[in-house]
């Protein structure tokens, strides 16, 4: 410790001032709400922000892309078969002479919407099931959970395939097939979270203060579970897109003349030797979309995690 | 531990029953009456009727169906000239199993060290390389990787054969393609697990005891970090299994997946149902084995008597 | 008779670089320990005492921490010691007992193995000799049935027994210094007493010095020879245990003692609590850290941090009230409550 110079100390400095009630309880860092904090963290994550940009771009192109090329995605043109990318056909043509750029983005519409819709439905159903089950407990919980446990053991894609075989192909059956068993993961997650929250003190306090069940669910449990739900949702979208691509690839999903990314990959695989670009282009976009969604999901999860500062 | 095994076994059996029942129900929902299709020979139709017993009441059909399955009778293929599905399984499953086992082993051999390295060498290029590999692996579907590898290494560089399954060289590309996703999942999980474990208090104790860093990592960190990875082996097996569908197709491997996909495309209902039940049962059994394995590895479950 | 200095810490500062900025966890702590004595480090959560203790053992990773100062164990500066040499010391000559025995023991390793590895690392005993030593140590710390318990896992022990396991790990190699970081905080009250008794008896049997870190004064009263009071990363008072309990020099210590509930109180007495919270260590205060909460604060307290001044022989306090100028002023002009100095 540096010794103080006696000359620095003057008599008046020893006058009494006592407690400083302001400074006593001072909190120096501004407090943010959970969502503000999460958004700030997310913004700092450059990778996540870039991914969000890519996803946005893909969605945008899905909307306006087909109009940009000036071609009709179903128009078969026998003279323009298997052309490499050029100024006229930006991504080339396929084996029936259809413009790939247009087909890609029409396909994007289908693949992306299936991905988002199916995931959203899974999320809603799963959250409700899991939330009710976790909150009510008792017999309801047991029944739902036993069902979930059993269904969880049944392989997802196998059931999806079976449902597709029974219902026939097309967008609606595809979504249905994916939702039939897809809600289970979310249900488990939400149930676990609700059970954990249910026993925390703030719920107990709310109850003691006279809050009814509904109020507790909406004002306390749901906001705290939203973080988990949103993260789960974001991570599930790429899987949904993959499932659609997979099913279309083996011939069960979207059928021609409609277009989806899986379907394009399938067609491309068939002429890999002669016209590889027909495979690589849809493959590239599937990959980059799933990559961006995964990276964004990672970033979102980190941002929503209150432990990571 | 015994209680745990018993509990898991019960759930597995019930799940199996549920699966079989769902398949049964879905069969009854097939559009039109597939068995009146003119593509069937009278013989085939007779076989189908006998197998499914359409002329009898539903509950009788159900038990007859269960009985068939227990006897190993999975029905008869509609397309392959009345070949029993069981024979198809017997002939083709070994190839799929071979592919699958090689894939899992390869994935573990590569994925675990990758994840461990990424966690230990934080902030270095090693970590970034591992993360990049992992993220790309998760994002590329297996049919994409399969075709890519086929094109680059098989067709262009001519390093490996791209079809059939006749020797070690034939296995390289398919296994690589199939394992990519699994390697990514395992390494990501292992890395996350290692990073979480390293903050645990018992690591502090280990360091305070003056143990060498190697010992701290090997005996304390890895041993605990590997537990979550074991739990994920079940879903990984399922992913690899569904992966075989497309990989076998792309690489013309005479495995069960190929038959399954062809069956689906040709609407060979018999085969689809039979193989579905087989796949489902296989995965349920695999999950059960994984649960068992986990129970043995985690001492908290193995001894079962937790105090205090 | 001169007692040999076992441990000497000189002006230790520890700074952490975090997401929110730099945290000055330890802002210049100095003290010494003699052979065979028990020094208690007392303070609230977050005052820097745990960080200090863990830095002695090299458990504070730097980066992200920046450490400066010196820590001498006998003649060796621990902060300048190479990793291997530090490893050799930790676990054998200096050992640590941690707070929560459940989380501080590896759940996937038998207790016996966790003890054995200490011996494997620091000694050349054979397997049989190691097991024998472990058994003896179990007897020493009061764990019955050693043969059976050596093969069990941490979750099969009760809380108090687990803490005994941690203690056994610490005394296995006959250390010269045991650092006990909040050894009783995570335990039930009844078990706390047992563990403290154990520590006391071990201290006597093995002639080890103990550095006891705690926020609980009750724990200190029974065990400590000397006490160090820490607040906001600095030492605010140090001296013999008796002296500090009977005539605390620093207002913080006074408040701490006053707020500790005592069994001898009448039921109608109100609980006395200190107002306010400790200062934010992201931007540490310029003057005395306690002054915003201090009844006796003076203008100088806000502006300059007091050095450690002498209250009595061997009893120091970091408070301007102890400064001769202050004493002189109040004695003559009396504009200060005299109780402050009594």
Question: How sure is the predictor about C336, in pLDDT bands with cuts at 50, 70 and 90?
Answer: very low
Confidence bin at A299 (pLDDT 50/70/90) = confident
- Give CA–CA dist C54/C179, Å, rounded: 9
Residue C37 lies in a domain: yes
Selected residue with higher pLDDT from B36 and C110: C110
Cis check: omega of the bond before C64, within 30 degrees of 0? yes
Residue B306 near chain C (CB below 8 Å): yes
Other beta carbons less than 10 A from residue C28's beta carbon: 16
Q: Which of C11, C231, C293 is the best substitution to test chain A (most A C-beta atoms within 10 A)? A: C293
> What integer pLDDT is reported at residue C102 of this predicted model?
86
**Which pLDDT does position C334 carry in this prediction?**
44
C17 touches chain B (CB under 8 A): no
Note whether B264 contacts A290, CB cutoff 8 Å.
no
| pLDDT digits 0-9 by tens, B164-214 | 777 787 888 889 999 999 999 999 899 989 988 888 889 989 999 988 888
Report, as an integer, the average pLDDT of A276-290.
Answer: 88
Per-residue pLDDT reduced to its tens digit, C24-36: 888 889 999 988 8
In the predicted structure, residue C340 carries a pLDDT above the cut 60: no
Q: Average pLDDT in the C252-259 region?
A: 82
- Whole-complex ipTM: 0.82
Q: What is the CATH number for A189?
A: 1.10.3720.10
Report yes or no on A231 lying in a domain: yes
Q: Count of alpha carbons within 13 Å of A219, Cβ hemisphere only?
A: 10
Q: CA angle at residue A177 from A175 to A183, to 5 degrees?
A: 85
How far apart, in Å, do the first and last CA atoms of chain A sit? 34
User: What share of chain C has pLDDT > 90, as a percent?
Assistant: 20
In-domain check, residue C322: yes
C contact test, residue of A16, A28, A307, A308 with most C CBs within 10 A: A16
Flag whether pLDDT at A240 surpasses 80. yes
Span of A20-29, A163-172, B258-267, C130-139 with lowest mean pLDDT:
A20-29
Interchain pair C121, B205: CB under 8 A: no
Chain C residues whose CB is inside 8 A of the A18 CB are 294-297
Residue C295 to residue A19, Cβ atoms within 8 A: yes
In DSSP notation, C117-130 reads: HHHHHH----HHHH
Q: B200 touching C, CB under 8 A? A: yes
Average pLDDT, chain B: 82
Are residues C292 and C311 both part of a single domain? yes
Give B-chain residues touching C103 at CB under 8 angstroms: 200-202
Nearest Cα neighbor of B142 from B108, B169, B180, B114 is B180
Residues in chain C: 342
Q: In the structure, what pLDDT confidence band is assigned to residue C96 with cuts at 50, 70 and 90?
A: very high
Q: Does position C76 have pLDDT exceeding 70, yes or no?
A: yes
Does residue A303 contact residue A39 with C-beta atoms inside 8 Å?
Answer: yes
What's residue C300's pLDDT? Answer: 80
pLDDT of residue C174: 87
A121 — pLDDT class (breaks 50, 70, 90):
very high
Q: Are C6 and C35 in contact (CB under 8 A)?
A: yes
Question: Is A204 near chain B, with CB under 8 Å?
Answer: no
- Tens of pLDDT, residue by residue over A143-158, are 888 888 878 877 788 8
A19 touches chain C (CB under 8 A): yes
CB B116 within 8 A of CB B194: yes
Q: Are residues C57 and C98 in the same domain?
A: yes
Q: What confidence tier does A54 reach under pLDDT thresholds 50, 70, 90?
A: very high
pLDDT band of residue B31 (cuts 50, 70, 90) is low
In this structure, the answer to whether residues C52 and C123 fall within a common structural domain is: yes
Give a yes or no: residue C160 inside a domain. yes
The answer to whether the beta carbons of residues C305 and C295 sit under 8 Å apart is no
Of A268, A273, A294, the CB nearest to B155: A273
How many independent structural domains does chain A possess? 1
In this prediction, residue C296 has a pLDDT band, given cuts at 50, 70 and 90, of confident
More confidently predicted of B301 and C30: C30
Instruction: Report if residue A279 sits inside a domain.
Output: no
C196 and C102, same domain (yes or no): yes
CB C231 within 8 A of CB C43: yes
In terms of DSSP H, where are the helices of C66-158?
Answer: 83-89, 111-122, 127-141, 146-150
Neighbors of chain A by Cβ distance (3+ pairs < 8 Å): B, C
Distance from CA of C11 to the nearest CA of A (A): 8
C281 contacts C233 by C-beta, under 8 angstroms: yes
Decide: A241 and A115 in contact? Cβ < 8 Å.
Answer: yes
Q: What are the φ/ψ torsions at residue C13 (nearest 5 degrees)?
A: -125, 140
Task: Clarify whether residues C175 and C294 are in a common domain.
Answer: no
Asked if residue C179 and residue C244 are part of one domain, the reply reads: no
For A285, name the nearest residue in chain B, comparing CA atoms only.
B140
> Which pLDDT tens digit goes with each residue over C105-154?
999 889 999 999 999 989 888 999 999 999 999 998 989 988 899 999 99
| Residue among C243, C95, C237 nearest C169 (CA) | C95
Rounded to the nearest angstrom, the minimum Cα separation between A76 and chain B is 24
pLDDT of A4 > 70? The answer is no
- Residue A123 in any domain: the answer is yes
Say what the pLDDT of residue B36 is.
53
- Nearest residue in B to C168, CA atom: B209
Residue A131 lies in a domain: yes
- The band of C338, judged by pLDDT with boundaries at 50, 70 and 90, is very low
Condensed to tens digits (0 to 9), the pLDDT of residues B102-144 reads: 999 999 999 999 999 898 888 888 888 888 888 888 888 888 8
Q: Which residues of A touch B284 (CB under 8 A)?
A: 153-154
pLDDT tens per residue, range A174-230: 888 889 888 888 888 888 888 887 777 676 777 777 766 666 666 667 777 888 888
Distance of CA C293 to the CA centre of its chain: 24
DSSP C209: E
Among the residue ranges B161-165, B174-178, C273-277, the one predicted with the least confidence is C273-277
Mean pLDDT of the region B238-264: 87
Q: How far is C186 from chain B (nearest CA, A)?
A: 12
Partner residue opposite A153 with nearest CB, options B15, B138, B246: B15
- Please indicate if any CB of chain C lies within 8 Å of the CB of B212: yes
Query: Which region holds residue B267: left if phi is over 0, alpha if psi is between -120 and 50, else beta?
Result: left
Are both C219 and C332 inside the same structural domain?
no
Nearest C-alpha in C relative to B212:
C87
Do B210 and C161 count as a contact with CB atoms less than 8 A apart?
A: no
B205 vs C87: CB contact, 8 Å cut-off? no
What are the E-state strand segments in chain C? 5-18, 21-34, 38-42, 65-73, 76-77, 94-97, 177-181, 209-214, 226-231, 234-240, 309-312, 315-317
Q: What is the pLDDT of residue C119?
A: 92
Give the CA radius of gyration of chain C: 22
Say if residue B50's pLDDT is above 70.
no
When computed from its CA atoms, the radius of gyration of chain B, rounded to whole angstroms, is: 24
Task: Give C341→chain B minimum CA distance, Å.
Answer: 43
Nearest to residue C200, comparing CAs of C230, C186, C220? C220
> Per-residue confidence at C166, pLDDT binned at 50, 70, 90?
very high
A86 in any annotated domain: no
Backbone angles phi, psi at C65, to 5 degrees: -95, 150
* Domain contains C229: no
* Domain total in chain C: 2
C200 close to C183: Cβ distance less than 8 angstroms: no
CB A191 within 8 A of CB A130: yes
| C209-214 β-sheet, strand order | C94-97, C177-181, C209-214, C38-42, C226-231, C234-240, C315-317, C309-312
Domain limits for position C288: 234-262+272-341
Residue B308 has a pLDDT of 46
**Shortest CA distance to B244 belongs to which of B120, B143, B107, B116?**
B143
Residue among A166, A252, A294 whose CB faces B30 most closely: A166
Q: Cβ contacts of residue C228 below 8 Å, gap of 6+?
A: C31, C39, C40, C41, C42, C235, C237, C238
Cβ within 8 Å of B, A 145-184: 149-151, 153-159, 161-163, 165-166, 168
Q: What residues in B contact C183, CB-CB < 8 Å? A: none
Please state, in angstroms and rounded to a whole number, the distance separating the CA atoms of residues C336 and C342.
12
Q: Is B303 on the interface with C (CB under 8 A)?
A: yes
Which residue out of A17, A38, A303 would a mutagenesis test of the C interface target, given it has the greatest number of C Cβ atoms within 10 Å?
A17
Does C87 fall in a domain?
yes
| A133 lies in some domain | yes
Q: Give a yes or no: residue A247 inside a domain.
A: yes
- C-alpha neighbours within 13 Å on the C-beta side of residue B103: 30
Q: Which of A102-111, B38-47, C274-283 has the highest mean pLDDT?
A: A102-111
CA distance B207 to C91: 9
Report the distance separating Cα C338 and Cα C341, nearest Å.
6
- CB-based contact (8 Å) between C270 and chain B? no
Which pLDDT score, from 0 to 100, does residue A227 have?
A: 80
Helix (H) or strand (E) holding A146: helix A138-153
Q: Are C213 and C326 within one domain?
A: no
Would residue A21 count as lying in a domain? no
CATH number, domain containing residue C177: 3.40.50.300
Read off the pLDDT of residues A77-100 as tens digits, 9 standing for 90 and up.
Answer: 777 777 777 777 778 888 777 888
Q: Does residue C255 have a pLDDT over 50?
A: yes
User: Any chain C CB within 8 A of the CB of A25?
Assistant: yes
Residue C153 located in a structural domain: yes
Of B140, B265, B284, which is closest to A287 when you measure between CB atoms? B140
Residue with tokens 């970033």: A299
- Which burial class, exposed, middle or buried, applies to B156 when counting CB atoms under 10 A from its CB (0-12, 13-18, 19+)? exposed
Residue C267 is assigned to a structural domain of this protein: no
Q: Which of A14, A24, A309 to mutate to test the interface with C (most CBs of C within 10 A)?
A: A14
pTM of the model: 0.83
Which chains are adjacent to chain C, needing at least 3 Cβ pairs under 8 Å?
A: A, B
| Enclosing domain of residue A289 | 55-61+109-256+284-304
Please give the angle made by the CA atoms of A189, B308 and C95, to the nearest 5 degrees. 105
Distance (Å, rounded) from C-alpha A218 to C-alpha B307? Answer: 37
């Amino acid at each position: 410790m540096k010794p103080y110079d006696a000359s620095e100390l003057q008599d008046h400095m020893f006058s009494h001032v006592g407690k400083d009630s302001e400074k006593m309880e001072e909190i120096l860092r501004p407090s943010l709400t959970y969502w503000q904090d999460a958004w700030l963290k997310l913004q700092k994550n450059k990778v996540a922000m870039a991914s969000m940009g890519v996803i946005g771009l893909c969605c945008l192109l899905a909307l306006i892309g087909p109009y940009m090329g000036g071609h009709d995605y179903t128009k078969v043109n026998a003279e323009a078969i298997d052309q490499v990318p050029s100024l006229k056909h930006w991504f080339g043509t396929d084996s029936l002479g259809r413009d790939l750029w247009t087909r890609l983005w029409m396909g994007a519409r289908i693949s992306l919407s299936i991905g988002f819709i199916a995931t959203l439905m899974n999320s809603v159903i799963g959250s409700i099931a899991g939330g009710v089950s976790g909150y009510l407990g008792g017999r309801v919980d047991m029944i739902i959970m036993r069902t979930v446990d059993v269904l969880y053991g049944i392989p997802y894609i196998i059931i999806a395939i079976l449902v597709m075989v029974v219902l026939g192909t097309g967008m609606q059956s595809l979504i249905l097939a994916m939702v039939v068993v897809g809600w289970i993961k979310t249900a488990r997650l939400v149930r676990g979270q609700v059970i954990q929250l249910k026993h925390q003190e703030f719920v107990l306090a709310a109850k003691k203060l006279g809050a009814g069940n509904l109020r507790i669910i909406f004002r306390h449990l749901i906001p705290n579970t939203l973080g988990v739900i949103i993260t789960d949702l974001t991570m599930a979208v790429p899987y949904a897109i993959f499932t659609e691509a997979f099913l279309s690839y083996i011939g069960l999903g979207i059928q021609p003349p409609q277009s989806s990314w899986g379907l394009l990959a399938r067609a491309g695989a068939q002429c890999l030797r002669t016209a590889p670009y027909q495979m690589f282009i849809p493959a590239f976009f599937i990959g980059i979309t799933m990559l961006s969604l995964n990276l964004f999901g990672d970033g979102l999860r980190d941002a929503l995690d209150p432990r990571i500062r | 531990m015994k209680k745990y095994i018993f509990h898991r076994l019960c759930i597995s059996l019930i799940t199996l029953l549920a699966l079989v029942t769902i398949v049964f129900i879905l069969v009854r929902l097939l559009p039109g009456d597939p068995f009146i299709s003119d593509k069937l020979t009278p013989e085939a139709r007779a076989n189908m009727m006998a197998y499914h017993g359409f002329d009898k009441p539903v509950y009788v059909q159900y038990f007859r169906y269960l009985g068939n399955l227990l006897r190993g009778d999975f029905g008869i293929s509609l397309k392959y000239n009345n070949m029993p599905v069981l024979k198809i399984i017997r002939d083709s499953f070994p190839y799929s199993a071979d592919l699958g086992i090689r894939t899992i082993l390869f994935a573990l051999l590569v994925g675990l060290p990758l994840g461990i390295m990424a966690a230990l060498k934080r902030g270095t290029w090693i970590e970034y390389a591992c993360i990049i590999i992992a993220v790309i692996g998760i994002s590329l579907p297996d049919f994409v990787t399969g075709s890519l590898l086929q094109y680059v290494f098989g067709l262009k560089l001519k390093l490996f054969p791209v079809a059939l399954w006749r020797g070690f060289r034939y296995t390289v590309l398919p296994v690589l393609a199939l394992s990519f996703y699994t390697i990514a999942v395992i390494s990501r999980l292992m890395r996350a697990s290692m990073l979480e474990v390293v903050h645990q208090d018992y690591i502090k104790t280990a360091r305070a005891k003056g143990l060498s860093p190697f010992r701290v990592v090997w005996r304390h960190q890895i041993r605990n970090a590997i537990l979550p990875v074991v739990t994920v082996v079940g879903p990984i097996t399922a992913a690899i299994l569904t992966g075989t569908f497309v990989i076998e197709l792309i690489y013309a491997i005479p495995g069960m997946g190929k038959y399954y996909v062809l069956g689906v495309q040709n609407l060979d209902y018999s085969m689809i149902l039979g193989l579905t039940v087989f796949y489902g049962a296989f995965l349920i059994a695999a999950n059960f084995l994984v649960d068992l394995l986990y129970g043995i590895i985690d001492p908290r479950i193995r001894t079962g008597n937790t105090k205090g | 008779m001169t007692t040999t200095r076992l441990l000497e810490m000189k002006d230790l500062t520890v700074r952490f670089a975090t997401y929110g900025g730099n945290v000055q966890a330890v802002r210049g702590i100095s003290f010494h320990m003699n052979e065979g004595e028990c020094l208690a480090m007392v303070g609230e959560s977050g005052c820097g005492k745990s960080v200090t203790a863990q830095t002695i053992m090299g458990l504070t990773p730097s980066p992200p921490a920046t450490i400066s100062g010196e820590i001498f164990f006998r003649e060796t500066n621990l902060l300048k010691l190479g990793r291997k040499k530090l490893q050799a010391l930790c676990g054998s000559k200096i050992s640590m007992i941690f707070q929560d025995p459940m989380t501080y023991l590896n759940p996937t390793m038998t207790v016996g193995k966790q003890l054995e590895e200490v011996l494997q690392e620091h000694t050349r005993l054979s397997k049989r000799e190691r097991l024998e030593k472990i058994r003896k140590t179990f007897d020493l710390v009061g764990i019955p049935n050693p043969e059976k318990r050596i093969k069990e896992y941490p979750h099969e022990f009760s809380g108090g027994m687990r803490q005994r396991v941690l203690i056994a790990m610490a005394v296995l190699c006959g250390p010269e210094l045991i650092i006990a970081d909040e050894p009783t905080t995570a335990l039930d009250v009844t078990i706390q007493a047992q563990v403290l008794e154990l520590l006391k008896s071990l201290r006597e049997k093995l002639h080890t010095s103990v550095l006891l870190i705690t926020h609980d004064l009750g724990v200190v009263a029974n065990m400590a020879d000397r006490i160090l009071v820490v607040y906001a990363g600095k030492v605010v008072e140090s001296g013999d245990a008796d002296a500090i309990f009977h005539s605390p020099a620093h207002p913080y210590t006074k408040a701490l003692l006053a707020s500790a509930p005592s069994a001898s109180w009448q039921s109608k007495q109100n609980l006395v609590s200190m107002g306010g919270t400790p200062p934010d260590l992201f931007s540490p205060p310029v003057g005395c850290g306690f002054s915003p909460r201090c009844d006796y604060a003076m203008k100088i307290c806000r502006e300059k941090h007091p050095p450690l001044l002498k209250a009595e022989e061997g009893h120091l306090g970091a408070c301007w009230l102890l400064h001769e100028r202050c004493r002189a002023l109040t004695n003559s002009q009396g504009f200060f409550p005299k109780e402050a100095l009594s």
